[in-house]
Structure 1
Amino acid sequence: MALAVAIFALVVVGALVAGAFFAGTQEQRVGENQRRVQQSFGVAEAGAQERVMSWQPEQMNKRLPYPQDSVVIGPNQPAPSGTGSYGGYSYKLGSNIFLIDVTGRDRASAGGAIAGGGGARQRIGLITRIAPIDFGIHASLTTQGGVSLSGNADVNGADQVPTGWASCDPPGATQPGIRDNGSNVSTSGNGSVQGNPPVVNDPTINNNSFTTFGGATYAQLAARATITLGSGTYKTNPALNGAGQCNQANLLNWGDGMNPAAPCGNYFPIIHIAGSATLNGDQGQGILLVDGDLNVQGSYQFFGIVIIQGDLKTSGGGSTDAHFWGGVMAQNADLSVQNLSGKATLNYSSCSILSALQATSPISMMRQRGWVQLY
């Protein structure tokens, strides 16, 4: 009898020990799995944020919307500090909206070190939008110096759509032709200023109006420039490579605003002139930053935003007017006079401004419901 009781006790104790060992092993496995899941989640979040920070607007913003186009992320992009790897896709959901879909795996799972070939992974999505810079452009020409118009020069605040731009929204409200801080605006010959009103005096305009904007500074924009050139005289035209694609490596290729359906029609670079420049043909588009003075000759056409730290001088001529489509900001650091002459025309165009901003602006996560866990 005593032997039977002893054997039974040993069986019970053995079962308890085995149960405790099994429970401990399972708890360890659950904890390890949970750790890998959390680490994979962190890798996915880091990958999504890294994608936002390394966003290349000139390559991404003008892509076709899903399902016509998507961009592969990774697929085995190392995470910061070597904690794992991530991959996924980015999709354009609308003109300004993008979905970044990232799947992260911890280091052991990504390396195949988990028994049975399993492992942890986490998939998240970030809904982002283009975050355009607010330049405060509320007129065809913004300046803090005087403006002199002669010949057939014209500054027009009516919202206009450039010739051949079929994807623009209907024109908006007419803006002032010239916005300044109270300096003198004079016309001679057939020079004219049109807008609502033609000239508006804004005493808040100062040097900071041309160097500090909503979301970025002039220096930050210059640091992001796609094209950087020194002082000189330039003739810019769209250029194609051997495959018939837009050659963005050509520093004198500033896009093709005159032919928006052409290969360079969607190329809107940020151009930084580290000094003064003369433009003597033919065209460009995007955001033009000039550290010094800008002299425009002949029938030059530019579509987008122009920010000049010095003076603007034009002498349009030839069979075509020298046109600016968009918005021009000329600081007049020495408060001298902007001289617009010949057949120069400055047209306010919200479509040109918006197109330049959409093509050159970074992205940011939506403020509300911009994050979602995917499965």
Structure 2
Amino acid sequence: MELTVDSPMSALTRYLLLILLVLAPGSALAEEGCPAGQLKGLNETCTKLSERTKLPLDETKPMRFEAVQVSMMMIHVQATGTITEDTPAEFERFLKSDEASYSKDLHLHSLGGNLMAGLRLGEMIRKAGMNTMVGRSIPLEGITNIFSYDSATCASACAYAFLGGVTRDYGDRDFFGLHRFGVDGKAISGDDAQVISSIISAYIQRMGIDQAVLRAAASAPFENGVYRLPVALAKRMRVISGQSGETTFNVEDVDGRTVIRFEFNKRERRYAGSLMCDEGSKFLTIMDVDDVIPQSLRQASNFPARFIDGAGRTLNGLVSYFKNPKLGFLIFSIPDLTKQSFAGEGLKLDDIANPAIDRRAKGKVGATPEMIALMNWVGDVQQFSFQISAANSVNTVPLVLRDCKRPK
């Protein structure tokens, strides 16, 4: 008996535009306006698929995995197609290949397929320490010539595989759909339903997801297929997790000053942080627990930094790197920080500028040493960029801000 689930940046962008690495916008119908087997690549030119790609253009074909270089700085693993009973073995073969070492980010696009294979795939994704996102790209002929779709789908069996990600994310444009399970296209009930429900429930618990996900899936009429899980609800259920640096602010007294301490993870990286006010200035300190801050960012000395805060405002500041014998850390001075800055989606690092690199790259085009240095810098900032949100920030941050009003 086969069980199936069937169903239907920011300032960094300005740098990427300079080097022509912004990808052409996609659409749900990728082939629209191009001959069969071609997609719009760079400069909106219809281009054939890369001869080397294994990814199917037809999403009903069996799922394939491939490392995709979306720019000179960024690579992710793309998984596209239907999940079959052979998909876990296909993923295992991929994990043993050199390509698997290129990225821990797995983008999924799938309408569903074999439920048990989807659960097994999710377990393997978690064991491999990979992060899951809903997304779809496919390589075209040419260097870093990629078609990236505006939106993607991860439904039914894919949705359960998605839950295996160490961190998990998708956007409002993407379709993340939960489906009731069935046999040969028909709903199941009785003892079989109870057994399958128990298997899925145990899997969801191991993945650290709210059991409400299972109830949402069960609420979908089998004949209609899919319950689309909104982004806001997905965050509450921990389906989306780990991308925004969710944390809790702890208030302490240090030598008569109020200090907030916190910890957060960005994917597999751990950071500790603090927030304090000293002589009228507001300082956010990020401590490099795992010594993973890129080497280039360790040059920072009063470099311009920009944030987007929880109220949607742009906050400008400065950043410098320091290191004591045990730990390196970046200190951000952010004058306009408020009690709302860490609420909602939280405080997001949007950009760090390197004035010397910017100056040398100004007016340059192509693969010059100056532009390559700029690309490397942008990639390092993207790698480090973080987002910190704390549900208790509105009540705790004002305790720190009071110190800013004290006489120097």
**TM-score grouping bracket, smaller chain normalisation:** under 0.3
TM-score normalised by L of structure 2: 0.23
Report which of the two has the higher share of helix.
Answer: 2
Larger radius of gyration: 1
Q: Which has the higher contact order (CA 8 A, sep 6+)?
A: 1
More strand by share: 1
TM-score, normalised via structure 1 length: 0.25
